[in-house]
Structure formats: structure tokens, C-alpha cells
Structure 1
Amino acid sequence: MKSWPFAGRERELDHLVGLAKDRAGRGVVIAGPAGVGKSRLAAEVLRRFPADRHAVLTIRATQATGGIPNGALADLLPREAPPGNTMRWAAEELIGRAGGKALVLGVDDAHLLDGHSAGVILSLVGRGRARVVATVRTGEPALDSVTALWRDGHVSRADIGPLSDADTRAVLTAALRGRPDEDTVLRLCRVTAGNALFLHEIVHSALESGTLQLVRGMWQLTGATPLAPRLVDIVHDRIGTLSPEVKAVLEYTAFAEPVGARTLSALVSEGAVLAAEERGLIRVVVEGRREVARLGHPLYGEVAREHCPELRRRRRHAELVRVVEAAGLRRREDLLRTAVWRLESGLGADPEPLAAASRLAWSAHDYRLAVRLAEAAVTAGGGTGAAILLATVLDYAQLPDRARAVLDTTPEPEGEAARAELALARANNLAWGMNRLAEAKELLDATERELREPGPRGQIAVRRLTLTASAAQPREALALSAPLLRPGGAVDPALRAQVLSAHALALCYAGRTAEAVAAVSEALADLPSWLDTIPAIVSPLHSTWALCGLFSGDLAVMDKAIASMADAVAGRRGWSRGEGSLALARGHAATLRGDLDAAMDVLHAPAHHETALTVGGCMGAYAHAQALCGEGRAAQETLGAALARNRATWTAFTRWTALTRVWIAAAAGETNRAADLAVAFAAECRAAGLPGFEFVALHDAVRLGRTSPARERLPELAALHDGPRVRVAAAHAEALATGDGPGLMAVAAEFERLGLMLHAAEAAAQGVSVLRRSGEERTARRAAAEAWSLASLCPRADTPALRFLAAPDLTARELEVAQLAAAGLTHREISERLHISMRTAQNHRNQVYLKLGVNSAADLARIFGRFDDGTS
């Protein structure tokens, strides 16, 4: 791990190489903050100068050599300088070292150059006797002879920033020699903020400590970010020596980020705040009408918090409470923040504000904090109300056993409203936490019989509806939701939002996805009125929205739902249900697109969550992707783990499990058995009134080569279920049953238009077989090229329909000609590009047309234009 392979930043590197070799200039200076990877980029640029024509001399400037004449060049010059013009002598020595080759100077940390060395380099570059590839740190002073390199136009200056998320992923993949899961990438992006040096140190420490390890073939970071001594030293070196006041600004910001600039000034002084900002320790930005301070880098806060002594930590929190409460709790978040600071400082708090703060943390989906505050409210004497709140947030935090322990010790309260609230908490725990749906419904029924007040009775009715919809019983759920949606049926915004959420899910399962999306939109449009009361339904509303896109075949709907869900989850660490729901939606969308690597990347972390009980859904989807990759044994193991982990087996999880079993059998080579499973499952779904699951199962059978009973039933389902996916599935079954090769290619084109690339590739592959059996060889060759092109967009897919596809039988030269022709180049341009005659280029093109069964460059463009490089 000491030296990482270069990865990521390909476009930046190409741009820098272009600047370094540009004939109009004499090199490039790469500028950027410390640790962003300037030196590595410069080294890669220097490697692009061929050694047979260039002499590359590397120069490293340091603070130690900054005051020594020619100190940075000492390793390249003789020990004794002759009398006279030493700068000219040094320049000639460097030219001599080039041995007649073009001289290229690689200067690292040029802002630290001593005056003589800088003068020598400027002289060589200014006179055109050398090129330079240098790095400078932004924000640091540099000599005029250094800044003159770009100021006077001798070289180009290129400013680079931190690693992007995509670059970080590429770097990690190369360094670890394996793929990290999506959650690990995002965590490391967040804590390093794209700083390559910090990334290297954290990964090295995590590997040594075992918190970064291979889990089912992917690298996963577990536990807290490791702060090894070397990383802490680097951060301290970056921060530098701080005065007590500036250190206080850093610590207050670390504990309270984001914190008002005026609050910081009241706690320390305005001068200290300005000094901390100037040092880059904090950033002061305007948010709304308020100036707030945030940390200059996330790791500054990590180090400041870890190394702050306990007594000073308590004092800092107590001072935050004093200043903010003295100014008045004017903002919504002030109540939550001061409650937390009181706990941290040991000042204590009354149960009411603690409970209120817990609800605010819950509405922000910060379950760890919500649980902590609710526990404090119980300890402070909050009584039954605080106990019910604690049990509720524990359940939604997926800690049902702890919730059950709280509920078992909570006495029956007085008053119908409180009794109903306790019954709801117990029913929720029984159903979701204990996997005892029948008992949960019995409890709701018994409680409802004892209640007289319409408000509590309405709450019971809504919870019954929610459980019924979640159990994938759309007929019963729609019957239950109808009276609740009538005018006056559910007046309370929170109750109506829950009704709309359950109603939307039932509509989705019933095949009425457009109506379901409308119900979701109605609920989310009124989100501010109910978020604080029932924040947990943000996740299921979005899940239903994405599910509508999945069943209807509208990926744009899925993408909108995923984007909205990502906004809701952003920054909500610990919301395992929300994070899992988002990953599940993204995984389903990637699978439909045929990008199975992406599906497993996003599903991996939630599928292997240590405590989440809804992990089964993500594990099942992960197993499904594995099976589509042909990894039958691994998929079976994953599915077995999903069944063991998932407590709520009464939900639609069992339906997804059945679909996964189909493809596990197919991956094992048992195609007929897989089709049998799909047909049998479809019959179960028909009886349950689940047309979406039914048509997906029947279409799975078609994808496996079985057309009965799909050919007869799918047109009926197309009339029951909205969206284009079921209609194209019906056409697929018909074309395969009748041996209609062109029809199968048309189906493939329709699936491609929808973005369902795996379905498209499979339909095209089946079309190839049909066309070859019918003797239409030229058309079959064209279809084979189309199928190969589509399958290339699903590189890991290994389903029965795709197993016998082969790349077009083109020679390497024919493939080059085909790709250039597809890009629109003429015969003359192709011959010039490949250094062949026009006749040879034309002959190769004609062979390509014959082998692929195509007639024009437009046909080639369709085949090769689906992906960047068709050579793989």
C-alpha cells in the first residue's frame, strides 16, 4: 500500500499532457491545495515524454533547501561551483545532463524553490532550452521568478481540485485490486473531501486495523473512520500551531457545525474567528440571511473532537448552551442542538424538551440521536409518553428487541388516546420486529373494540390498512382505504399521509401505477405538515414511487423517485431503512438496465448491514443480480442469508424471493425447472391479485424459452396493468411462440427504447436462434450483431438466452474499419487513419457488411454506437 497505481483523472491527465507538450508553450504548472495529488499527476505527465527523445530531470524543492543557493538543484550539480556567473554555469550543467536530448524539468513544490534554482529554471524555460512540469501549492507565497513562469506566458497554469467521487472510486479499485462497495466509497469521499493524501492514509490504517475488509468479494469499510497516529500527525501539520483562541474556534465548530459566526464571536472573539478562517480551519458562508461557520475539512473536526480532553469538551458544550439559550431559541433546530449539548455537558434537561428534541431528530432521520434523547427523556421522568416514543424510534431504528423490552415494562395508561398510542407501538413491534402479523392485527382489533373516541379509532384503522398493504394484499387494502379517503375520512395530515402511502402501495400492487404515483405525489406535496409526526413514511412513499416505475417499465419514474429519495437520505447516517430502500431502488434500476456491477455495488453495503432487519430485501436483490451473472451457488448462499435475516416475511419480500429462485435455478443450468418455478409463482400471484408480480414471472418464463401459458395470459394482464413493460412482454411471448424472428428483433428494439437493456439483449439473442432455424442467414447475421451489441451493455450478464452469443467474426483490422465507419469516417479518412490504401479500406468494409449482414454505415453506427468501445 506504500505506492498506489495511478487511477482516475484520465481527462485531467490528458489535458495536462497536452499542455506540457503544446508547441505554443514550454510546459505546465499544476496548482492546487495540499494533498490533492499534484505530485502524482506531474509524475504521470513526465512519464508521457518518451525516454529516447527526452531527458527528464526531477527537482524537489523543500523548506530546508529554500534558503540555500541552488539548494533544490544540489543533486544535479557538481559540489564546487566555478567563480563567476553561477546561474549560467548551473543552467549549462543541466543542459549537459540531457546528453543531446530535449530537456524536461520536473519540479515538485516549486513554491519552495530558492532564488538561484528558480532563476536557473526560469532562464532555461524562458529561452526555450527546456520544458517544465512543476507543481505549486495554492495559498502559499512563491518567488517572482516562479510565478513569472505562467505570468509571463512561458507555460500554462492548470489548477486542479480534490478527487471527484468517480476518481476516488477508481483510485480505491486500483489500490485494493478489487471493487469497494458504494457505501464505502461515499464514506471515504465524505471524510477525505477528495484529498488523495488523506485517502491513502485512511485506507492504509483501515487495512491495518481490519475495518476495511473483503466481504463477499467487495471491499467494505465498517466501524468508525480510523485515525492512525500518522494521519493525525499529517492533519496537525496541516493545521499548524494554534493559539488558544483559534483552537477554541476550531473545537467549537467541530462540536456545533454548522455554527453561527456571531455565536463563535460571542464564545471567543471576532478576531479569532477571522484568524481561523484565514488559516483555512473554518469556512464562513452565508446560508439564508445568516453567516455560519463550517470546518475547512472534515478530518479537522475528527481530530479536534478525538483529541479534546473530556473536561474541556464538557465546558465547550456548556458554553454553547449558555450563548445560544441567552440569544433565544429562535430556530427550529436550536431546541435539538441545545438538548444534545446539555447531555454532552452534563447540565441535564427536563423530559419535555428532551422528548421534543427526540421527535426533531426522528423527523431528520437521525435515529441514533433520536434514541439517545428519548432514553434521556425516560430517565428524566417522562413517563408513559416518553416510553412509547422510545419504543417507537427503537423500532424504526431496527432495534425491535430493545423496543419490545421497553413496551413490556410500560404500564397501561389512562385515556383512550394514550392506550391507542401504546397499542399502535405494540402492533408495529409485533408485525415488523417480531414477524407476528396475525397477532398485531388481533391486537388492533381488540383495542378498537374498547375505544369510543373517533380519533383513536381512526389511528387503529390506518395502522390496519398500512399492515394490509405492506402484506401485498391489494384487494383488501383498497377496500380499507376507500372510506378513509372520502371527505372527512382522515382529516389529520399525518393520518392522511399514512393512508395515501398505503393506498399508493396497494394501487401499485394492483397494477394501477399511474394512480399510485399520483397518490405518492399528493402525500409528498403536503410533507411539511406531517413530517415531524410520522417521518418514517418518507421511505415507503419513495419506495412505492420507484416500484411503480419498475413494474410499469418507466425508468424515468424510477430515476425521479431515486433522486428525491437520495435528497431525503442525504446526510442521514443511521437511517438504515431509508438507506436500504434507496439502495434497493437503485439496485432494481441498475438490474433493469443490465448494469449488474452497479447493482451489486449499491446493494452490497445494505445487504451486509450488521443490524438492519430489513436487510433481507437488499440481500434478495443482491442474490438476484448474482444469479443473473450466472453465480448460482453464491446467489443461493446470499438468498439463504436473506431468509435468515429478514424478520418481516409476511411482506412482498417473499414474492421477490420467489423471482430470485427462478434465476438461481437458471444459473445452475436447470432452465426447465426455472421456467416451471416462474409459471407456478405466476399462478400464485394471479390468485393473490398481484398482476405486476404475475406478469414479471410469466415474462421470466419467456426469457427462459417457455411461452405457455404466458402467450395466453400476458395480453390479459396488459389490459389489467398499466405501463409499457407488460405490453412489450406480451409481444415478446407472441413472437417467440410463433417463431417470428423479425418480431423478436422489434421486441428487442422496444425494450431498448425503454432502457431495459438485459431484456433487449435476451430478446435479440432469441431472435438470432429463430432466424437461423428459418434459414434467413443474412438477417440472422445482422440480428447476431445487434444482439452482441446489446449484450455488450450488460457485460456481467450470463443468462440462458445470452450464453451462446459470440462477438462478430471480424478480424482486428475489420473491427477497426467497422468502428471508424460507424463513427462516420469516409474511405479516404479511414485509409489515412489506418495507413492503408482506399481499396483495402473498402474491401475490409465490404467484408464487415457481409459478416454482419448490414448494408450501410448507419447500420454500423446503430450496432457500435451503443457503447464507447466495441472491442471488448
Structure 2
Amino acid sequence: MLTLVEQWGFVGRTDELARLRSVATSDSERGLILSGAAGIGKSRLLHEAVSPLPADGRAVYFASATTASSGLPFGGLAQILPPDPPAGLSPAGLLRWAVDGLHADAGGRPTVLAVDDAHLLDPPSAALVHLLVREGATLLATLRAAEPVPAPITALWTEGLVDHAEVAPLSIDESRALLNTMVGGPVEIGSARRLCHLGGGNPLLLRELIMAALRGGALLQAYGFWRWTGRLALAPSLAELVDARVGSLSTGVRDVLEMVSLGEPIGLQVLLRAADPADVEAAEERGLIRVDRDERRHDVRLAHPLYGEVVRRRCPVTRSRRLLAKLADLVETAGGRRRDDLLRVAVWRLDSGTAQDGALLLDAAGQAFARFDVPLTRRLASAAYEAGAGYPAADLLATALLFADEADAALAVLDGAPDDGVRRMTARATVEFFGLGRTEAADDLAAVTLTDPADAARAHAVEAFLRLQIGQVPHARELASLVADAPEASTPARGLAKCVLSLLAALSGDQDGARALLTAAGAETIAWRRDIPALQYALQMAEGTLVTVSLDLPAIDRILAAEFADLAQAGGFGFGSAWVSLLQSRAAWMRGRTDEALRAVEQACATLSMASVYDGSAHFARAIIAAQRGDHPLARASLTIAEAAAARPSGLYYAWRQQARAWTQACAGDVTGAVRMLLELANRLREDGFHAIELIALYDLVRLGRADLVADRMAAMAPTVGGRAAPVLIRHATAGTDGGTHLAVARDLSALGYQVYAAEAAAGAVRIFRAARDAQALAASTLLADVLARCDVLRTPALMAVQPTLTVRERQVAELAAGGVRSREIADLLFLSPRTVENHLQRVYTKLGVNGRNELAPALRLLPQ
């Protein structure tokens, strides 16, 4: 059960905090006033800035004005003033008395006055603050935006006595960090993005969102990650916060706010036609809406995402339907020139009850599917089907249900749809195969006799994709080759066949051929979305496989920076989000950032745990990372989950399973068993023609110290496997006992970003040079230490071989000697005899394979702390 952390750590605001502290300790600046929305974090920021100020250097006074104190003379500063003013003083005398009292209490120290919510100061308190600043005090204060401010406070910045700045909402990264702090653990990235978007960078609103999700049971935990189900329970406290910020509205402004909340973003011209321009202007002035400019376009959005949640729920059904229909009419009348107009109009028509055009709804569902918005695709496709859009709508609806892990419902939709011959047959096979794990679905397709060449080509393309997934490579290649260039095949069928051939080319090591096929298939995805929607993700699968097996870090980075990654992780497409997380994990691991890699792969595990179709498919990657971090219990547990999971058919990816088993064995100390497993894997990959993965499996054997078993085979693969990584890996495998080559390879691997491989290659050079008492051991040790400094936890056999265990005393002596302390001084420091110190040093030299003190420092850096 999640318990919200009530007092969370301070997150972000580094620039604002530094600025406040700089002003507070400055001899020349007089003050800084920060303004911002309620709940934006002004008060916490002010406390963080003031609390560490030393009391002996400055007289620091902190006061918080409130609504209750705003009607009392000096009520806002009562917390810092003496309790009993002299009787009979005039207002000016009281002001002088207060100033003199604070000066006396300061005792000559510089005065820092911190006032929270200064807009609530009563007039005498505001005048006192103004006078104190004029007489040399430094003011740090906060104001709530859009609230009236006492004139003496306003005058402080208008007269140039103090600076004034706005506190901006937290960035997405800062909001995510705060969210993790609030719940006491990491939040799955898709959930974090949606929650942070709703929070709008406001810490108070984000806290209320989490509290509402907690009370509604909408936060679930899996593999160390919290995941939000998407249900938003609108707690009374959350609604009250929004009400306080919205305030009372006239009928016209309310209509504007409701219209924007129902249809944002709305073009400014459309909104001005739908509502009174004066009301639109008033809503903007009150900070309820904002106008964003994108080149020549102006879009209107709500000033805060949560306004929409509250306004939409409170808007009567009849009024919301009327407003949505009005918006749809206006956009359609204007011609729907924007790219998003079709989708938005369809949603408005659906929500207003005026949706009658099944073709419009189907086109919109296709757009939603192209954006990887599975819930919206499902909703629109269902409406299109009910509106008479026929089998294509049923096909798309079944696809959305498949990706929502509702395979039985998808089959029910297909069975109830009008018979569309081969289209329904291939769609049903796809759902049964990926949704229910029925590998027999491929045989069912093959058993049907089709006389129409186009229908046969479609069936063959889908069957080829299914055959490939279960590892029936020759059959898959034969079928795909028949379809790829067949003139009678439809464009989608040819595109799917090219994806199959691209996957095979990537696995075989033909990167150029795989890329060319992907480019050709990618140019035809628009047709896929309408004709074979369930298989448009074959393109992403093929591209992900290509960059993974070729160890192409720049290409992985490009995918992660592309629109797909954001869309997949922001929407409800669990498989796509997990796919992105696995790519992130792969890239982080190669760079040696194993902490980040483990977090990313566990995020994939958490995402896929919500879908039984894919549950467990990320655990093999988790086992490999854990094993290479030296965490055998985690590797073993991950492997057990992966082996037992009812995952989708994955015969094509048997290599990842066997690698996970091998590295888990090696982590347990059974390197011989791991070598045997990898040799068996390499032989099978060679038989299947998967030379790109074979090269990786063979290189795993190099990493485990058995280059002698694979050097010849890897050298023979040089003309076969492309990419920038292959030549360096092969050179490492064939380096033998040439320490110089190992060292050069380590430098090249590090330059390419493969820090794990670079560290192991450098470790090999260290071992060879140490054994030969070669002076180059110093350079190798230095390189290895530098590479490991860029890595997180790594505990592979190659690295552990150069990390001998020193006793506590040996470590003490060695570190002092490496720091330049002479043996006699070490003896005095440690209460030893000089001879004992020398004996310790000789044992250290032998264990570390170094020749003297000048080589100690880099060698010690290789040892675990």
C-alpha cells in the first residue's frame, strides 16, 4: 500500500534558490520578490533560501501573512515584532517604534526580512516593510500572481529598490523527480508523464493528484515502479483548489472556459466566432486560458490542464453536447484545414451525439492508431463500426483490443463482423497468434486454399511474419520472397513481406540490405494502417531489431529522440512503451550506465506486467544486466519469471533467452557451463543464418576469456556482418596475447561508446602486461580506471580477474603509498615497523601485478570501494 510522503525533499528550482541566497548575502542588492500561482512552490522556495542563513552573520526575520491577519494593524508582521507597543503612539510613531525595535534586536547585523504571501500584508505592515528596505534591510518575499498587492510593496520594485521575478512551473524533469520523491520510489515513465502533465508543474496540484489516485486505488506497483491506471478520482480537495483558482465566472466567460476545456486546442479564430470576443479576452486576462502562437497559427488552451478535468465533469451533459456540436460545425464550415482537424471533429461529433458519418469516424480512428493512442482508437473504431463503416472498422477495433490485451474480445468483434474473406482470416490468425499464443494459427492460414492471387499474397505475407516469430526461418523467407515483388500482391502485403525480409537481413548481418527494405516498407505504412492495422508495428520491430543486433548506438539514440518514443510512452500503448524502454536499457548498458539500464528494463517489466500477452518478455534482458552487475539473486529471479511467463511466441528471439541463462550461470561462478551454453547458441545461430547475433554470442565467449574457441570463426565473419562495431569486436577476438592490440581495441571501443566492452578489453591488456611485468601496464590500468569511472556497477568475470582482494591493512598501506607517503611515515601513522610496511607493499605489488609505487594509484582505482 502506497503512503504519500508528507514532507518531501526539495526538488529543482536551483536557479531561483541560488538567486535568493545570493541576494540574501549580498552587500549591494536590496531584495527580491517572487510571484507565482498558488501551489507553485514559492513558500517552500523561500524557506529553503532562508533556513541555512547563519544567525551570527545576519539578523533573519521570517513572517507569513495570512487572510486572517490582513485586517489587523501590523498583523502580518506580528510574528517578528515585540508584543507590547507603547501606548498613545500615533500611526507614524508606531511605525518608528517597530523599525527601531527590529534594528535594536539585530544588534548591528545586516537585516534579512523574509515575508511569505506579502500580498496579504495589512497596510501598516506593508509600510513597515517598505521603510525597512529603505533603511538598509534586505527583503525576500513572495506574492500570489493575479492578486492585488499593497501599494508600498508594489513601489519597492517600481522604484527600483528590489528586483521582481516570476516563479515558473516546474519542468517535466523536475516534476518527475518531485513525483518520485512524493511516492517514495520511481514512477513508470508513461504514468509519470501523464500525471506531470495534469499537475502542470504545480507541486500542490501534483500532490493532490497523487492523493486522489491513492484514495481511488489507481496507483499500482510492479517491479519497483508505480504505475497509474489512468483513473482520476476528483477528490473534493482537488476540486476546491481548482475552484479557488477559477473563481466566480460570468455566463459568457464560463462558456469560453467550458468550450476550451472540451475542445482544446482550439484555433483562436474559431473560438472568437463561437463566443463573444469580450468574454474570450476576459478569460485570458484572468489567466484561465492562454494563446499559443505556432508560426501563423494561434491556438487557445487552458492555462492549467486540471481546469479541464474539473470543468468537464461539472458541465451539464446537455450543455457540453451543445458546445461540442457547435465547435464541430464551425471547424467543418471553415474547411478543416489543420492536420488534426479530422480527428478532433470526429471526437467532438462522437461526444456531442451528432456522429453519423462512419467513414469520418473510421478515418479518425486510423489517425488515432497512427499516434499509438490505443484507447481513443478503440473508442472511435467502435463508433465507426456501429455507424456502418463495415469490416475495416471491425478490423481496427479488434487491433486496438489486441493491444489492450483483450484478445477474446477482439475475436468476438471479428466473428460478429461481416465476412470479409481473407482479411478477417488473417486478422483472426494475428489475434490468436499474438493475443492467445496459438502458434497453430500459422498452420491454419497455410491450410486454406485461396484462388485469388491478391488474397493468397496477403495470407502468405501474414503467415511469413508468424513463421518468423516462431523461428521457422526458411519457410518465412520463402513466403516473404514470393510476396515482396509479386505484382498481384497489394501494397500492404508487399510492405509486410519486406518487413520480414528486413528482419532476416538484419539478423544475418546485412545492415545495408535491411535498411533499404525498411525504407521501402516505411514508405507504404499509410496503406498498412487502413488495410493491415495490426501489423504496422512490424516496421518498428524490424527497425528495433536492426539497431539492436548491429549495436548501432547513434541509430538507437535517433529512435529514442523520434516522435514514436514520446507518443508510445505518453499514450496507452503498453507494448510500444516497453519497446522504447528496452531500447533505452540497451543503449545505457552499452555505455556502462548499468543503473540507468536496470531502471529502464524494470520499467519495461512494470509496463508489460499489465498485459499478460507480453508479461515476462523483458525479464531476459533484466537477467543479463543483473548478472553483469554481479547480482546473481536478481538475475536468477528474473530468469525464473521469464521462463515461467506465458509470453507471446518468441522463437525468433531464442538467443536472448540463452544469453540470459549463460550470463546467469557465469555470475554464479560456473563460467564453464556458460561457455558451453554460448557455444551451443552460436552453432544454432550459424545454422539459422543469424550471423549478426552469432557474432554477439561469439563475442560473449571472448568476454568470458575463451577467444581461443572463436577467433577463427569471428575472423571468417568479417565480410558477412556489417556495421561499425563488428570490425573492432573481431580485432579483439583475434588479438591473442598481444597486449598492445588489446589496449588499442579498448581505446577504439571506448571512443565508439561501448564502455562495457572497452573496460573488458582494457582489463585483458592489464592482465597481459602484468604477467609480463611490462611497463605498459600503467597505461592499461589508467585507461581501465578512466573507463570504469564512466560506468556504474560492473562485475563481469573479465573485470573481476583484475580486481584481487586486498586485506584492510594492505589497502591502508597501499593507498598511503600511492599518495606519496614514505614507508617510515606510513609506519608511524599505522603503528607498524618499516619492515612490516615494506612486506605489505610487496604483497600488494604481487597481487596487483605492478612494479612499484608509481603504478599503484591507477591499479587501486580498479578495486571496488
Asked whether the equivalents of residues 785 and 852 of structure 1 are also in contact (C-alpha less than 8 Å), the reply is no
| Residue of structure 2 in register with 1:425 after alignment | 427
Cα distance, 1:706–1:187 mapped onto 2, change above 3 Å:
farther
Give the deviation of 1:754 after TM superposition. 1.3
| Residue of structure 1 in register with 2:105 after alignment | 97
Which AA in structure 1 matches 2:555? V
1:279 correspondence with 2:268: no
TM-score (ref. length: structure 2): 0.85
Cα distance, 1:503–1:23 mapped onto 2, change above 3 Å:
farther
Alignment of 1:297-376 (within 5 A): 297-321=304-328, 323-324=330-331, 333-347=340-354, 349=356, 351-376=358-383
Identify unmatched segments of 5+ residues in structure 2: 821-849
1:178 alignment partner, SS class: coil
- Of 395, 403, 407, the residue aligned with 1:400 is 407
Cα distance, 1:625–1:310 mapped onto 2, change above 3 Å:
farther
Asked whether the equivalents of residues 613 and 645 of structure 1 are also in contact (C-alpha less than 8 Å), the reply is no
Of 689-698 and 397-406, the range deviating more from structure 2 = 397-406
Give the deviation of 1:233 after TM superposition. 1.5
Identify unmatched segments of 5+ residues in structure 1: 819-847
The whole-number CA distance in structure 1 between the counterparts of 2:126 and 2:692 is 71
Asked whether the equivalents of residues 477 and 506 of structure 1 are also in contact (C-alpha less than 8 Å), the reply is no
TM-score (ref. length: structure 1): 0.85
Give the deviation of 1:495 after TM superposition. 4.0
Which AA in structure 1 matches 2:101? E
Alignment coverage as a number of residue pairs: 821
| Residue of structure 1 in register with 2:737 after alignment | 739
The whole-number CA distance in structure 1 between the counterparts of 2:71 and 2:817 is 59
Cα distance, 1:277–1:147 mapped onto 2, change above 3 Å:
same
| Residue of structure 2 in register with 1:562 after alignment | 560
The whole-number CA distance in structure 1 between the counterparts of 2:417 and 2:216 is 42
Asked whether the equivalents of residues 628 and 798 of structure 1 are also in contact (C-alpha less than 8 Å), the reply is yes
Alignment of 1:474-623 (within 5 A): 477=476, 479-482=478-481, 484-486=483-485, 489=487, 493-524=491-522, 531-534=529-532, 539-566=537-564, 569=567, 573-609=571-607, 610-611=610-611, 613-623=613-623
- Of 153, 167, 186, the residue aligned with 1:179 is 186
1:799 correspondence with 2:804: no
1:617 alignment partner, SS class: coil
Of 323-332 and 273-282, the range deviating more from structure 2 = 323-332
Which AA in structure 2 matches 1:161? A
The whole-number CA distance in structure 2 between the counterparts of 1:671 and 1:456 is 52
Which AA in structure 2 matches 1:798? R
| Residue of structure 2 in register with 1:632 after alignment | 632
Alignment of 1:445-464 (within 5 A): 445-447=446-448, 449-452=449-452, 454-464=453-463
The whole-number CA distance in structure 2 between the counterparts of 1:768 and 1:316 is 73
1:769 correspondence with 2:747: no
2:496 alignment partner, SS class: helix
The whole-number CA distance in structure 1 between the counterparts of 2:662 and 2:204 is 47
1:43 correspondence with 2:68: no
Give the deviation of 1:41 after TM superposition. 1.8
| Residue of structure 1 in register with 2:29 after alignment | 25
| Residue of structure 1 in register with 2:445 after alignment | 444
Cα distance, 1:335–1:178 mapped onto 2, change above 3 Å:
closer
1:795 alignment partner, SS class: coil
Task: Map Cα deviations across residues 288-308 of structure 1 (whole Å, 9 max, x no partner).
Answer: 654432121111112222333
Cα distance, 1:651–1:259 mapped onto 2, change above 3 Å:
farther
Cα distance, 1:515–1:24 mapped onto 2, change above 3 Å:
farther
Give the deviation of 1:685 after TM superposition. 0.9
Which AA in structure 2 matches 1:121? V
The whole-number CA distance in structure 2 between the counterparts of 1:692 and 1:852 is 43
Cα distance, 1:849–1:36 mapped onto 2, change above 3 Å:
farther
Give the deviation of 1:535 after TM superposition. 5.6
The whole-number CA distance in structure 1 between the counterparts of 2:16 and 2:737 is 51
Asked whether the equivalents of residues 596 and 797 of structure 1 are also in contact (C-alpha less than 8 Å), the reply is yes
| Residue of structure 2 in register with 1:715 after alignment | 715
Which AA in structure 1 matches 2:458? Q
Cα distance, 1:397–1:217 mapped onto 2, change above 3 Å:
closer
% identical equivalent positions: 35
| Residue of structure 1 in register with 2:781 after alignment | 784
Give the deviation of 1:651 after TM superposition. 4.3
The whole-number CA distance in structure 2 between the counterparts of 1:811 and 1:177 is 41
Cα distance, 1:76–1:744 mapped onto 2, change above 3 Å:
same
Which AA in structure 2 matches 1:442? D
Cα distance, 1:510–1:852 mapped onto 2, change above 3 Å:
farther
Asked whether the equivalents of residues 59 and 109 of structure 2 are also in contact (C-alpha less than 8 Å), the reply is yes
| Residue of structure 2 in register with 1:678 after alignment | 678
Cα distance, 1:365–1:115 mapped onto 2, change above 3 Å:
same
Asked whether the equivalents of residues 608 and 619 of structure 1 are also in contact (C-alpha less than 8 Å), the reply is no
1:292 alignment partner, SS class: strand
Cα distance, 1:547–1:816 mapped onto 2, change above 3 Å:
farther
Alignment of 1:144-163 (within 5 A): 144-163=151-170
Cα distance, 1:440–1:728 mapped onto 2, change above 3 Å:
same
Give the deviation of 1:327 after TM superposition. 5.5
Of 492-501 and 758-767, the range deviating more from structure 2 = 492-501
Instruction: Say what the alpha-carbon RMSD is for the aligned residues.
Output: 3.7
- Of 3, 6, 12, the residue aligned with 1:8 is 12
Alignment of 1:123-142 (within 5 A): 123-128=131-136, 130-142=137-149
| Residue of structure 2 in register with 1:828 after alignment | none
The whole-number CA distance in structure 2 between the counterparts of 1:851 and 1:662 is 39
Give the deviation of 1:317 after TM superposition. 3.9
Task: Map Cα deviations across residues 506-545 of structure 1 (whole Å, 9 max, x no partner).
Answer: 2111101233234334444565565555565564434433
Asked whether the equivalents of residues 31 and 162 of structure 2 are also in contact (C-alpha less than 8 Å), the reply is yes
The whole-number CA distance in structure 2 between the counterparts of 1:364 and 1:25 is 51
Task: Map Cα deviations across residues 169-200 of structure 1 (whole Å, 9 max, x no partner).
Answer: 33334444433333343233222122122222
Cα distance, 1:208–1:853 mapped onto 2, change above 3 Å:
farther
Cα distance, 1:165–1:597 mapped onto 2, change above 3 Å:
farther
Task: Map Cα deviations across residues 334-376 of structure 1 (whole Å, 9 max, x no partner).
Answer: 4544443444344563544443443333233222222223333
Give the deviation of 1:682 after TM superposition. 1.4
Cα distance, 1:852–1:135 mapped onto 2, change above 3 Å:
farther
Task: Map Cα deviations across residues 476-505 of structure 1 (whole Å, 9 max, x no partner).
Answer: 55555555554x747855444334333322
Task: Map Cα deviations across residues 716-756 of structure 1 (whole Å, 9 max, x no partner).
Answer: 22331112323222233334xx3343433322222211111
> Structure 1: which 4+ aligned runs deviate by more than 6 Å?
806-818
Cα distance, 1:766–1:507 mapped onto 2, change above 3 Å:
same
Task: Map Cα deviations across residues 318-339 of structure 1 (whole Å, 9 max, x no partner).
Answer: 4445555566666665454444
